[in-house]
Amino acid sequence: MRIARFSIDGNVAFGAVEGEGSDPAGLVLDIIKGIPYAGFELSGTKVPLSKVRLLPPVIGNKILGLGRNYADHAKELGNAVPEVPVVFLKPTTALIGSGDAIEYPAFSHEVHYEAELAVVIGRMCREVPRERVKDVIFGYTCANDVTARDAQRAENQWARAKGFDTSCPLGPWVETDLDPSDLILQCTVNGEQRQLGRTSDMIRSVEDMIVHITEAMTLLPGDVILTGTPAGVGPLSVGDEVAVTIEGIGTLTNKVIKRG
């Protein structure tokens, strides 16, 4: 099932996406009663997807990223594959939805796209054993871990480089029925392919990540884990349109504008 979060006429709701493909013209939303992480019911009230504004599909408490989780990406930036997972945080103020604008920050001159599979947590969990990982996952969505690469190089931690406002496009919706182990992932800029990889090339699996992260902290419904990016990262400029497409999910599209 595909679950979207959207606004219409000033109201915000979740809905189940019905229809084939990803063209909004052929899709409708069946509005969900309540929030989707617990047991929920469909209201039967339907609205065309073309009539709503898609929002970030989750409103979690935190976003965690896994750095250098594809060997070819670590190599292209001159980094060794880390012996232990490198986990970082992005604030929820970085979230935007599909169709929203990425605002180019004034403190950077080298902003990069990073296409990633995102995991959405469905229940509160801590110290999750490997055999129970699937029980705590709500679903998967597309992400763009937009990064101020010059700030990342210059600073000893990645908070500003990866946490500036609009640096976490997420969407267009969450797919709840998906095997994430070997999906095609690609990124285009202005229609030109820049990244192409498979999730099977990840160094640490989704199970590895959740076991590792929950050793240290509690995850809550709606929390997001970004699983890393394949090789091919590169710069974005004001006016660019960047799209992340993941097999079995759909396409996340955003334009880049000048902040302010």
Looking up residue 32, the CATH number of its domain turns out to be 2.30.30.370
The residue among 33, 54, 75 that closes a domain is 54
Q: Do 95 and 173 share a structural domain? A: yes
Return all residues near 204 (Cβ < 8 A) that are at least 6 apart: 66, 69, 85, 212, 228
pLDDT value for 39: 80
Q: Do 73 and 48 share a structural domain? A: no
pLDDT beyond 90 at 8: yes
Mean pLDDT (the chain) is: 95
- Report the Cα–Cα distance between both ends of the chain, in Å, rounded: 38
Q: Do 195 and 97 share a structural domain? A: yes
Interval 79-90 mean pLDDT: 90
Specify the number of domains making up the chain: 2
**Which uninterrupted H or E stretch holds 191?**
none
CA angle, 72 then 78 then 82, to 5°? 70
Provide the percentage of residues in the chain whose pLDDT is more than 70.
100
pLDDT beyond 90 at 109: yes
Q: Do 77 and 50 share a structural domain? A: no
pLDDT beyond 90 at 40: no
Q: Do 29 and 74 share a structural domain? A: no
Per-residue pLDDT of 146-184, as tens digits, reads: 999 999 999 988 999 999 999 999 999 999 999 999 999
The residue among 36, 54, 72 that closes a domain is 54
Per-residue pLDDT of 216-249, as tens digits, reads: 999 999 999 999 999 999 999 999 999 999 999 9
Q: Do 208 and 107 share a structural domain? A: yes
Return all residues near 22 (Cβ < 8 A) that are at least 6 apart: 172, 250, 251
Q: Do 69 and 26 share a structural domain? A: no
pLDDT beyond 90 at 82: no
Alpha helices, H only, the chain: 71-76, 149-154, 159-163, 206-214
Q: Do 68 and 176 share a structural domain? A: yes
pLDDT beyond 90 at 100: yes
Q: Do 67 and 169 share a structural domain? A: yes
Q: Do 77 and 28 share a structural domain? A: no
- pLDDT-based confidence at residue 42 (cuts at 50, 70, 90): very high
Q: Domain span at residue 89?
A: 63-258
pLDDT value for 103: 98
Q: Are 223 and 121 in contact (CB under 8 A)?
A: yes
Interval 114-126 mean pLDDT: 98
Least Cα distance to 252 among 189, 171, 187, 183 occurs for 171
pLDDT beyond 90 at 64: yes
Q: Do 73 and 41 share a structural domain? A: no
Q: Do 23 and 112 share a structural domain? A: no
Whole-angstrom CA distances from 60 to 31, 95, 114, 126 are: 20, 10, 21, 16
pLDDT value for 149: 96
Interval 115-142 mean pLDDT: 97
The CATH number covering residue 201 comes to 3.90.850.10
pLDDT value for 117: 98
Q: Judging by DSSP bridges, how do beta strands 192-198 and 184-189 pair with one another?
A: antiparallel
